Amino acid sequence: MQFGYSERCLDHDTGPRHPESPDRMRAIREALKERHCVSYVDADPADEAAIERAHDPDHVDAIREFCEDGGGEWDPDTIAGPETYEVALKSAGLAIWAAEAAVDGADGRDTPFAIGRPPGHHAESDEAMGFCFFNNAAVAARAAIATRESVDRVAIWDWDVHHGNGTQEICYDDPDVFYASTHEAGLYPGTGDIEETGEGAGEGTTMNIPLSAGCGDTEYRHTFDEAITPAIRRFDPDLFLISAGFDAHRHDPISRMRISTEGYAELTDAVRELADDVDAPLAFILEGGYGLDTLSESVAVVHETFDGREPVVDDAEPTDEVADLVAELRDIHDL
Ligand SMILES: [Zn+2]
């Protein structure tokens, strides 16, 4: 795997004791260094035209002006410093790099993973929220469609524990972006009901899987195999992006999900197999993940999986509740 990373991403200052801190980047780098992964690709920051494929120009201006004035609390969770606007452009630029590098032939051991911050999936077309300013995954998907001849359709699986309300909102009526989210029901921001499936030309290209607290490797794997996989096969994407948050880990401090570190290896292997099957380039874009050890170890097992490590797969059965939810999803999405 090749990682996109920039020291510039350390300059987004969220103040003391904020879970979305520069220490997340440092922990990931340390864990990768232990795996002898020490070289990183830097990327140009996204330009405003690239951001505006997913955001209103007024939103871009508002974030820039807020940061030029010194930043502060955009909302109680979403803190900006003077450097945040530029760093958010960098984080989006890393996501664009990952998408474009995948399309341009980086695969197998070179599969790209953008390790940027701030994260993106809560940022809506005209709003920053949930630690996010610009929607890195949506910007990257739209960049690939705009700049790469071979890309007309992009699928995104968002496995972060939170619903990616921003990615959904930006792409809700877009028939060219399929967005699937697995998230803990009832957690921030409260959106992502199973009945939210897209609108207009985008009807059917949003899939929400609100899982109850306590779901783990087996439930996520069942959901991916039985609902997301057939939906993505039918959509037939030219690019497959993973909005890769690691806050559904069993030891993450802000969720009650139960994915193990090994579970992330299993999910990585599963998405790699699907990407191969549908012949879609694959790229990863970092979202959340707030336990420094669990975040960094989970990113490291994603890397190791592309380096030939075989995941240990447990063939336990999912809970009846999740089996029923998946059956309902298959019905709603006519799979
Ligand atoms: Zn999250």
Pairing of strands 79-80, 72-73: antiparallel
Looking at residue 315, its pLDDT comes to: 82
Question: 114: CA distance to ligand 1 center in Å?
Answer: 16
The tokens for 134 are 């610009």
Q: Does the pTM exceed 0.85?
A: yes
> Which pLDDT does position 60 carry in this prediction?
98
Measured between alpha carbons, how far is 98 from 273 in angstroms, rounded to an integer? 19
Strand partners, 181: 158, 208
| Ligand 1: centre distance to CA 150 (Å) | 31
Tokens read off for 303:
């890397």
CA 287 – ligand 1 centroid, Å: 7
Which of the residues 12, 55, 59, 122 is marked catalytic? 122
- For ligand 1, the distance from its centroid to the CA atom of residue 246, given in whole angstroms, is 7
pLDDT (0 to 100) of residue 331:
98
Q: What is the pLDDT of residue 314?
A: 79
Report percent pLDDT > 70 for the chain: 100
HSE-up (13 A, CA, CB side) for residue 37: 25
Nearest to 290 by CA among 243, 251, 241, 242: 251
Question: What local confidence, expressed as pLDDT, does residue 96 receive?
Answer: 98
Active site residue 222: no
pLDDT profile of the chain (335 residues), mean per 10:
97 96 98 91 98 98 98 97 98 98 95 98 98 99 98 98 98 98 98 98 98 97 98 98 98 96 98 98 98 98 96 90 98 98
